Structure 1
């Protein structure tokens, strides 16, 4: 049985933000940097360990309880970051990894617990879905670690999660911020004309 206690949280925070033009994860949203929203949302889930895979960031994930792993070459795509995180999780003796993205500020702990409810052992692949497309957060049992470590490029684990179980939630919860327009739309949703000004 997979539980948070035997699962490593792998937070991917090493993207190059090419479409955003700037340090996306440090951008203010409500009362904190964008990347800290998912950190806060998942803070009370008792994971075995928390791993943040980063690249050239000013954000202090270590102060928030994360083991920080630098991705020396984010240009090789999201799969490289994922491999870094899975390798560390494997060394920690994790039975599973929950992969979350730092640019998804509306993910909730309730949704993550529903993902654990859908897990079924070492071969588990459970992804989130808006009812149309599967996406992170995604949960993988240790039987999938070697497949994850073989991934390459920007596709990340997309092919794997297409074949997994999908836990549907509101599209609003699975919003990810890729561009400044995405962030402005999110701020507008909260009635914020601008943030931090």
Structure 2
């Protein structure tokens, strides 16, 4: 295993939200009474990482209040690989044994699952990703032996090919829900009976009025 204390948590929060329409950043959209993009930060806030790094763009989420060092991605058009590289560079500077990569638009990820990923990471060349039983996806753990390969990535595919070739830890599909479109956010709110279902304009309040 790789201990959390030997890892840097890299939270990718610089996406352009292109599929969400004209909302600014999807991470600022309300979900269960707080911004969507803060849920995973709060869920992992008690894990003893060497450092927490949020790679940020235009979202207004206050990651610093939850113990994160902020690194701004000034060119999100370069894709997820640019954000990932910024996190890897920080981890290497801190001589971390690995990184845990999480996405800010996956609000249901738990600390329990992250510990399971770390338990399955057995050496410096480890790649351990999450799976819903059908396909691998973030969050994922990368040992320090993979840092050079991560830094060489280009575009928005990020580490997708590396993740497919790694070890996979299965969890419930509900934990790995990510939000890319207004419809996906609406379905997630319905799933958990979020109060926003009843208060957002044009949804149930309007239908019942």
Q: What TM-score range do you get, normalising by the shorter chain?
A: over 0.9
Work out whether 1:11 is the aligned partner of 2:11: yes
SS at match of 1:167: strand
Work out whether 1:189 is the aligned partner of 2:179: no
Following superposition of structure 1 onto structure 2, how do residues 174-185 of structure 1 map, counting pairs within 5 Å? 174-185=176-187
SS at match of 1:93: coil
Question: C-alpha deviations, 1:174-193, integer Å up to 9, x for none?
Answer: 00000010110001112232
The normalised TM-score by structure 1 is 0.97
* 1:93 to partner: Cα distance: 1.4
Computing the radius of gyration over CA atoms, which structure comes out larger, 1 or 2?
2
Larger proportion of helix: 2
Following superposition of structure 1 onto structure 2, how do residues 29-68 of structure 1 map, counting pairs within 5 Å? 29-68=31-70
Runs of 4+ aligned residues of structure 1 deviating over 3 Å after TM superposition are: 194-197
Which residue in 2 is equivalent to 1:20?
20
The normalised TM-score by structure 2 is 0.91
Q: How many positions carry a matched residue from both structures?
A: 197
CA distance in 1, matches of 2:14, 2:168: 25
* 1:196 to partner: Cα distance: 6.6
CA distance in 2, matches of 1:54, 1:43: 17
Which residue in 2 is equivalent to 1:120?
122
Question: Against the structure 1 CA distance between its residues 164 and 43, is the aligned structure 2 distance closer, same or farther, given a 3 Å change threshold?
Answer: same
Is there any run of 5+ residues in structure 2 with no aligned partner, and where? 202-209
* 1:62 to partner: Cα distance: 1.3
